[in-house]
């Protein structure tokens, strides 16, 4: 079942400068970012961005410095006002909210986790986590109970009485995450939340976010300039350059079919075997309850007894002694990446049955894996730095 759209971005443009409307007209006539700055002194932040972010997914917006990614996320809670366009959350136009409604939206609907933690140094971990709840008038004991639940969730139980200066950078970012979770907001906005951390702590935070998301199913908008981070976290990824949207899709979809040369340069050196999942490569395979039911089919088919047993049969390929030959199926989870499937793929005489939610979802052939791992043979320079 398809998830409903939680956040819809409609034709959002942002020009920084004294006369944004006039500058936007020039951009619509074809003027680029560098030309606009030279001719008018205005900065193109975003141009006609359209996105659908679905409920319960982690949606990553990525790009290099100056691409517009942080500008875009700040539109979602109106820290930045657009020059043109609309932001809809659950169908409601955020730009139409009055001051009181906007404050309520920021407190209860969309929480933000900042790159530099933004903790109050004179307050303890627990006091930082429940600060927003206290401001909202939540009784102190109820706020403390909620705060402790979030502190435990992010793995900081026992540190609630410490001060930010007594914590490592990774622990401080966990406090920031717990504070955002304490409001029970449906949307988490995370702007380069892990980029200030060293690589090992950053990876720990990435894995913890994935684990928390598997339990809470928040709608997360995550900003990063790091492609590996985007591929690890994102259900869908949007790539920006010079304020313009270059491609939106799943990580596997972008890797296997980059929309243009710029995106191709981004993804060229990614270890695809660790990124592309078996589910993304599986070809739908017909499932039959018995070999006899598959008598009119052709090619490899899946035979499922409905009780968790699965086999493979080459339908239409002939039979020995008048009986169809059923072979044991080798299975792997759809969420497993190609590297994890290498051992199973060693059986090159037949495809692999890919499982999703305990049911066969398709067949994975060795040829499909090779196509997914193949890179463009041409030379692409590294992505240039945006102005």
> pLDDT at position 224, please?
94
Number of domains in the chain: 2
- pLDDT confidence tier of residue 271, bands split at 50, 70 and 90: confident
Q: What percent of the chain has pLDDT above 90?
A: 55
Same domain for 83 and 26? yes
Same domain, yes or no, for 190 and 299?
no
Which parts of the chain fold into alpha helices (H)? 20-28, 33-40, 69-76, 99-104, 125-129, 131-135, 140-153, 169-182, 199-216, 227-233, 251-256, 261-267, 278-281, 338-345, 366-373
pLDDT tens figures, 22-80: 999 999 999 999 999 999 999 999 999 999 999 999 999 999 989 999 999 999 999 99
Q: Which of 226, 249, 272 is the last residue of a domain?
A: 249
Give domain status of residue 223, yes or no: yes
User: Can you give the pLDDT at residue 292?
Assistant: 81
313: domain CATH number is 3.10.580.10
Name the band, by pLDDT with cuts 50, 70 and 90, for residue 351.
confident
**Does one domain contain both 200 and 291?**
no
* pLDDT tens sequence across 276-327: 889 989 988 788 888 888 777 778 888 887 776 778 887 765 544 444 567 7
Comparing CA positions, the residue from 93, 1, 7, 95 lying closest to residue 51 is 7
pTM: 0.81
Q: Is residue 265 included in any domain, yes or no?
A: no
Nearest to 51 by CA among 26, 16, 76, 81: 76
Per-residue confidence band for 136, with pLDDT thresholds at 50, 70 and 90: confident
Q: What is the 3-state secondary structure (H, E, C) of 147-194?
A: HHHHHHHCCCCCCCCCCHHHCCHHHHHHHHHHHHHHCCCCEEEEECCC
Rounded Cα–Cα distance for residues 165 and 185 (Å) = 27
| Same-domain pairing of 52 and 160 | yes
Q: Looking at the predicted structure, is the pLDDT value of residue 187 above 60?
A: yes
Tell me what pLDDT residue 381 has: 41
Q: Which two tokens stand for residue 140?
A: 């102190």
Answer yes or no: do 171 and 32 share one domain: yes
Share of the chain above pLDDT 70, in %: 93
Whole-number Å distance between alpha carbons of 14 and 113: 23
Q: Residue 382's pLDDT is what?
A: 41
pLDDT at residue number 375: 65
For residue 60, the enclosing domain spans 5-249
Domain for residue 260, yes or no?
no
Please state which of the ranges 99-113, 124-138, 169-183, 291-305 shows the lowest mean pLDDT.
291-305
Any domain includes 304: yes
Same-domain status, 61 and 158: yes
| CA–CA gap between residue 116 and residue 105 (Å, rounded) | 23
Asked if residue 47 belongs to a domain, the reply is: yes
**Domain-located, residue 319:** yes
Q: Which 8-state DSSP code applies to residue 80?
A: S
Same domain, 159 and 288: no
323 DSSP β-pair partners: 320
Please name the residues in contact with 87: beta carbons below 8 A apart, sequence gap of 6 or more.
Answer: 7, 8, 9, 10, 12, 75, 76, 78, 93, 94, 95
Domain boundary among 249, 269, 292: 249
**Does any domain span residue 172?**
yes
162 and 47 both lie in a single domain: yes
Check residue 41 and give its pLDDT.
Answer: 96
Domain identity same for 319 and 177: no
Band the pLDDT of 384: cuts 50, 70, 90: very low
Distance of CA 180 to the CA centre of its chain: 18
Structure-token pair, residue 121? 């140094």
Instruction: Of 277, 255, 273, give the one whose Cα is nearest residue 332.
Output: 277
DSSP assignment letter at 108: I
Residue 184 has pLDDT above 60, yes or no: yes
Report pLDDT for 371.
84
Q: Please give the pLDDT value at position 289.
A: 84
Question: 344 falls in which pLDDT band (50, 70, 90)?
Answer: confident
381 lies in a domain?
A: no
Give the bridge partners for 241, in sequence order: 244
Quote the DSSP letter at residue 322. Answer: T
* DSSP 8-state class, residue 382: P
Look over the chain and give the mean of its residue pLDDT values, rounded to a whole number. 88
Judgement on whether residues 239 and 323 belong to the same structural domain of the protein? no
Query: What is the structure's pLDDT at 319?
Result: 46
Name the one residue in this structure whose structure tokens are 């409903």.
Answer: 4
Q: Distance of CA 139 to CAs 94, 107, 111, 176, 207, Å? A: 29, 16, 20, 21, 33
Which of residues 249, 272, 295 is at a domain's end?
249
Geometric angle at alpha carbon 116, from 110 and 117, rounded to 5° = 60
Q: Give the number of C-alpha atoms closer than 13 A to the C-alpha of residue 384, restricted to the C-beta side.
A: 6
18 and 94 inside one domain: yes
pLDDT at 376: 55
Number of H helices and number of E strands within the chain?
15, 17
| Residue range 94-117, pLDDT digits in tens | 999 999 999 999 988 999 887 777
Question: For residues 329 and 387, which has the higher predicted lDDT (pLDDT)?
Answer: 329
Which CATH number characterizes residue 144's domain? 3.40.50.300
19 and 142 together in one domain: yes
User: What pLDDT, in 10s, does the model give residues 190-233?
Assistant: 998 888 788 888 888 899 899 999 999 999 999 999 998 999 89
Among 36-40, 43-47, 88-92, 169-173, the range scoring the smallest mean pLDDT is 169-173
């Amino acid at each position: 079942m398809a998830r409903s759209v939680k956040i819809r971005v409609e034709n959002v443009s942002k020009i920084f400068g004294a006369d944004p409307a006039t500058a936007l007209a020039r951009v619509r006539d074809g003027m680029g970012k560098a030309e606009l700055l030279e001719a008018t002194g205005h900065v193109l932040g975003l141009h006609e961005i359209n996105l659908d972010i679905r409920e319960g997914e982690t949606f990553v917006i990525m790009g290099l410095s100056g691409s517009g990614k942080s500008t875009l996320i700040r539109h979602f809670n109106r820290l930045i006002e657009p020059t043109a366009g609309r932001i809809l959350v659950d169908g409601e136009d955020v730009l139409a909210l009055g001051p009181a409604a906007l404050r309520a939206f920021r407190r209860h609907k969309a929480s933000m986790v900042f790159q530099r933690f933004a903790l109050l140094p004179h307050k303890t971990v627990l006091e930082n986590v429940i600060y927003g709840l206290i401001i909202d008038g939540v009784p102190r004991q109820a706020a403390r109970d909620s705060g402790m639940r979030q502190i435990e969730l992010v793995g900081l139980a026992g540190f609630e009485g410490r001060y930010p200066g007594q914590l490592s950078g990774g622990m401080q970012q966990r406090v920031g995450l717990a504070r955002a979770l304490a409001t029970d907001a449906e949307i988490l906005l995370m702007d380069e939340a892990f980029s200030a951390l060293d690589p090992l702590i950053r990876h720990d935070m990435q894995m913890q976010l994935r684990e928390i998301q598997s339990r809470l199913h928040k709608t997360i908008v995550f900003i990063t300039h790091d492609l590996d981070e985007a591929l690890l976290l994102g259900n869908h990824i949007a790539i920006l350059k010079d304020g313009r949207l270059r491609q939106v899709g799943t990580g596997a979809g972008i890797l296997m079919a980059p929309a243009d040369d710029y995106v191709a340069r981004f993804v060229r050196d990614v270890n695809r075997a660790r990124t592309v999942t078996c589910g993304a490569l599986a070809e739908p395979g017909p499932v039959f309850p018995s070999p006899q039911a598959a008598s009119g089919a052709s090619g490899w088919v899946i035979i499922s007894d409905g009780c968790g047993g699965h086999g493979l049969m080459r339908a239409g390929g002939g039979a020995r002694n008048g009986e169809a030959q059923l072979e044991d199926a080798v299975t792997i989870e759809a969420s497993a990446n190609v590297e994890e499937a290498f051992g199973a793929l060693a059986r090159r005489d037949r495809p692999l049955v890919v499982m999703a939610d305990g049911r066969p979802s398709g067949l994975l052939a060795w040829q499909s894996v090779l196509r997914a791992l193949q890179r463009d043979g041409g030379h692409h320079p590294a992505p240039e730095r945006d102005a």
